[in-house]
Amino acid sequence: MREIKFVQAIIEALEEEMTRDETVFIIGLNVQADPILTPVRLVEKFGTKRLREVPIAEPGILGCGVGAALAGYRPIVHSRFVDFFMPAADELFHKAAKWRYIHGGKVTIPVTFLAGIGGYLGGGGPEHSQCLEGYIMHTPGLKLAIPTTPYDLKGLLKTAIRDNNPTVVLYHRILVGAGTSGLVPEEEYTIPFGQADIKREGKDVTVVATGLMVFMTLQVADQLQEKGLDVEVLDPRTLEPLDIETILSSVKKTHRLVIVDEDTLRCSVGAEIGMQFMEKGFDYLDAPIKRVGAANSPIPGGFMECYALPQPQDIADAITEVLGIKESFQVKPLELLKPGRHMGERLGYGKKEN
């Protein structure tokens, strides 16, 4: 095992899969000169034919990915902002998701849609800071992973690229820009979809969190430990397929459930997880499920962002509420989200990997 950065996990997965299979290639905006995700060695090793630059035309970009997959390639369609997939919704939600079913399984669509998600950018605003996993999870035919550690990211991305179905892999841009790191094996490995991971064991309450919210929840849990509260933190890792059984097993032990998701509360991933749990595990609960998410509002830019997106104190208050504690335990803000940093700095521009 060695410690690598979050972004290095992406680069290693791409390089290993492009080396293993010559049908794998990357297509997207600025993929030959991305300040973070395209180190010089990828361009030198694979050339511009396998790192395809395209104009700003999202329906064409995603459409090329779907078409290439139908033609026998394994394209990786990349966007720094998942928001930009929406102008190409027909290609993603109709063509990619449905065509294998429509054609009776006679064709495969091995395309991977790789995109950055999330707010806390200090200037992203309503069209660059969204978490759109709810749309994707809602659509039959699409698999969905949201890794939160370098280990999970590399293993799940390699699995996605090898899948004969359309997959979506979403990474939080803050985790890339902040240079977060973790232990990753030197030898090759993959991680199957549909296996949740308990990031922190506890006995008092289960918190299911996704994306950056995993990091935020872990920090809150460490602080609440000092108050005598033992919080279990569970990361689904993939939302389609969803490992509801591991969530059920955890809550059967703790008897309380909090779900933390950066998307809006209404019709969110958190709402779906909560409903699936209620259908199968209601009798395990000693208190109502509590959800933490973004306000039902477009995400504002600048300092107003913090009033719309989940904060550590929101998570702490939800935990104490399901535990029946009247006192509010104050917790510190997430270190990754220091105020006053410009969006470009948060995304890591100017810190190119070699």
Each residue of 151-167: pLDDT tens digit?
Answer: 999 999 999 999 999 99
Q: Cβ of 33: how many Cβ atoms within 10 Å?
A: 11
220: phi then psi, degrees, rounded to nearest 5: -65, -45
Share of the chain above pLDDT 90, in %: 77
> Smallest Cα–Cα separation from 142: which of 224, 242, 72?
242
Contact indicator for 310, 262 with CB cutoff of 8 Å? yes
Sequence-separated (6 or more) residues with CB below 8 Å from residue 65: 27, 75, 76, 77, 91, 96, 111, 113
Contact indicator for 112, 169 with CB cutoff of 8 Å? yes
Contact indicator for 234, 221 with CB cutoff of 8 Å? no
pTM over cut 0.95? no
Average pLDDT, integer, range 322-333 = 92
Residue 128 falls in the annotated catalytic set: yes
Read off the tokens for 191: 């991680």
Residues 121, 129, 52: CA angle, nearest 5 degrees: 100
pLDDT over 50 (residue 11): yes
Each residue of 174-200: pLDDT tens digit?
Answer: 998 877 899 999 999 999 999 999 999
Rounded CA separation 270/310 (Å): 13
Contact indicator for 145, 211 with CB cutoff of 8 Å? no
Residue 58 falls in the annotated catalytic set: yes
Each residue of 304-315: pLDDT tens digit?
Answer: 888 899 999 999
Write down all domains in the chain, each with its CATH number in brackets: 2-184 (3.40.50.970), 197-335 (3.40.50.920)
| CA 342 to mean position of chain CA atoms | 22
Catalytic residue among 58, 133, 232, 240: 58
Catalytic residue among 17, 78, 91, 128: 128
Average pLDDT, integer, range 86-90 = 95
